């Protein structure tokens, strides 16, 4: 099965991750995270596969995150509410996300990609 690469083409970090994948000949399917925002269930699966808390999936440096005041709201929210917010707008999701059948990574760090995807 091909990996799914959720990205936003204007994102510098996403471009670096894509270059790493191409340079290392990793097979993947591109998914524009804003045009095809993952559903709540897809996000739940991504969170489980990543082993990270759902809070790690928020794009905390994004304009939308600040506009919605999520920094304070996240303190009180449960996982279900957080998944709802993430599924409502792809710009709220930290990117890129790379997913296979069994695992997922969020964000891009070359050493993590090296360890996980090579």
Each residue's pLDDT tens digit, 51-105: 999 999 999 999 999 999 999 999 999 999 999 999 999 999 999 999 999 999 9
Residue 47's pLDDT is 98
Residue 2's pLDDT is 81
Question: Are residues 3 and 60 in contact, defined by beta-carbon separation less than 8 angstroms?
Answer: no
Please tell me the chain's helix, strand, coil percentages from 3-state DSSP, rounded to the nearest 5: 50, 15, 35
- DSSP bridge pairs for 75: none
pTM of the model: 0.95
Q: Is the pLDDT of residue 48 over 90?
A: yes
Kind of pairing between the strands at 28-32 and 97-99 = unpaired
Look at the domain 3-117 and name its fold.
Glutaredoxin (3.40.30)
Residue 107 region by backbone torsions, left for phi larger than 0, else alpha for psi between -120 and 50, else beta:
left
């Amino acid at each position: 099965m091909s990996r799914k690469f959720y990205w936003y083409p204007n994102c510098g970090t996403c471009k670096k991750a894509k270059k790493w994948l191409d340079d290392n000949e990793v097979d993947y399917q591109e998914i524009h995270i804003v045009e095809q925002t993952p559903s709540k269930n897809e996000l739940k699966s991504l969170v489980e596969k990543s082993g990270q808390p759902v809070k790690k999936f928020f794009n905390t440096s994004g304009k939308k995150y600040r506009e919605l005041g999520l920094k304070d709201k996240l303190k009180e929210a449960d996982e279900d509410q957080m998944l709802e917010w993430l599924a409502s707008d792809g710009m709220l999701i930290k990117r890129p996300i790379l997913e296979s059948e069994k695992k997922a990574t969020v964000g891009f760090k070359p050493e993590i990609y090296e360890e996980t995807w090579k």
